[in-house]
Chain A
Amino acid sequence: MSYPSEDNLRRWIAFVAALGVGVATYIAIVESGGGSPVCLAGGTGCATVAKSSYSHVAGVNIAIFGVIGYLLLLASAFFANDAARFGGFLVSLGGFGYSVFLTYIEIFKIEAICQWCVASAVLMTVIFLLNATRLIAYGGNELQEAR
């Protein structure tokens, strides 16, 4: 099976991670001011989700964890070694798993959908697939130059 070149995968990972940093930073900044993200098509889904108890873990807004995660993923795209491949895979796996859980919570517990959270979940899914592809295709090639 032919895979995209690692250079291309890294570029895509960096691009999607940068978008993720933007989305998570927006949510974190808006919420730190006591507000909530503005739903692009109107509605109050974002306010309901942002103000639910699930929006904080140990008193810390989960958007902050999002910013940190996306920054780590962005950093992993700058290196072509196994640590970056496996680290990027682990962080994106954690982010993807947590996104699945939060989407379940939004639909079945909070019963409100926030477009910004959905956007982040989609970005995290894409970045997980890119990192999984990168690991499967190039993992274990420690000494190989990036292609």
Chain B
Amino acid sequence: MNDPDRRTKMMQLAAGTVFLAIVVVVALIVVNGSSSDSAGEPTPEDAGEVAQALRGIPQNGMVLGDPSAPVELAEFGDLQCPVCKGYAEEVLPGIIENQVKNGEVKIDFRNFTIIGPQSLPAGAAALAAGEQGRGWNFVELFYKNQGAENSGYADEAFLKSIAKAAGVKNMAKWNQDRAKLTSKVEETTKEAQQLGFNGTPSFALKGPGAKELEPIGTPSSTGALEEAIEGAG
């Protein structure tokens, strides 16, 4: 039996949902299309802010924090990854300000290159800055000036401008080091895969006395990450 009213209502509802779907898809495309495709140039203000946030915290290679901190937090990230940028700006500052500064945890940034071909040289450039105690300044400044994924912005000129702004003193050494450190980036990428990670950023913890890193995935907030660190300690 056919019910004309019921049918009319159903068609109206279907038309409404089609309209809504079109609006949502167009909005998604507009929002993603308007996100900046071009990377920024690091400004002295950026460099100053980063230096201020990291002031007084020891940096050894890519490890931020007291080398004798009981807990090690390994962050597996890709410098081109927008989620890592968001994490660096919203979640990690709380950890750095408290648990890193008070010597509870040290954070080791390890490259997990998954976004595109420029992630590898970018990761090596960060490690080379780390050889001069500026690894975290490099990472933070890279994120601050990050462009759209795989848009080609992370070229030689960009990496050099980040290194200079990060405070790398010996650019010739930085240049030599990053060529050597490419293999290190590949190693940590394999390590991340062996830990079962398939996205960035992903985290792993090593508590006092532990021999192996324990994968913890991607805690959703500063609080969740704090709890995980406390649990490991």
Q: Which residues of A pack against B, CB within 8 Å?
A: 31-32, 34, 48, 51-53, 55-56, 59, 61, 82, 86, 89-90, 93-94, 96-98, 100-101, 104-105, 108-112, 135-136, 139-144
Contacts and interface: CB of A to CB of B under 8 A. Distances in A.
B172 interface: no
Contacts of B2: 140-141, 144
B224 interface: no
B150 A110 contact: yes
Contacts of A34: 193, 196-198
Given A100-B25, A111-B150, A144-B1, A139 B10 contact: yes
Nearest to A82: B10
A112 B13 CA distance: 36
B7 interface: yes
Interface of B: 1-4, 6-8, 10-11, 13-14, 17-18, 21-22, 24-25, 28-29, 32-33, 81-83, 114-116, 148-150, 193, 196-200, 217-218
Contacts of B6: 82, 140, 142
B82 A139 contact: no
Contacts of A93: 17-18, 21
Given A32-B198, A53-B83, A140 B218 contact: no
Nearest to B113: A51
Nearest to A96: B21
Contacts of A111: 150
A52 B25 contact: no
Chain A interface mostly? helix
Nearest to B25: A97
Given A32-B198, A143-B1, A101 B10 contact: no
Contact of B148 (A96, A101, A109, A140): A109
B17 A140 contact: no
Contact of A52 (B29, B33, B149, B217): B149
A56 B200 CA distance: 10
A51 B193 contact: no
Contacts of A53: 81-83, 115, 149, 199-200
Given A94-B21, A140-B7, A110 B149 contact: yes
Contact of A101 (B28, B196, B200): B28
A89 B25 CA distance: 17
B11 A48 contact: no
Nearest to B152: A111
A104 B81 contact: no
B21 A109 contact: no
Contacts of A61: 198
Contacts of A141: 1-2, 7
B110 to A, nearest CB: 16
A1 B143 CA distance: 58
Contacts of B28: 101
19 contacts: A51-B198, A52-B115, A53-B83, A59-B199, A59-B218, A86-B13, A93-B17, A96-B21, A97-B22, A100-B25, A109-B149, A110-B149, A110-B150, A111-B150, A139-B7, A140-B2, A140-B4, A141-B7, A142-B6
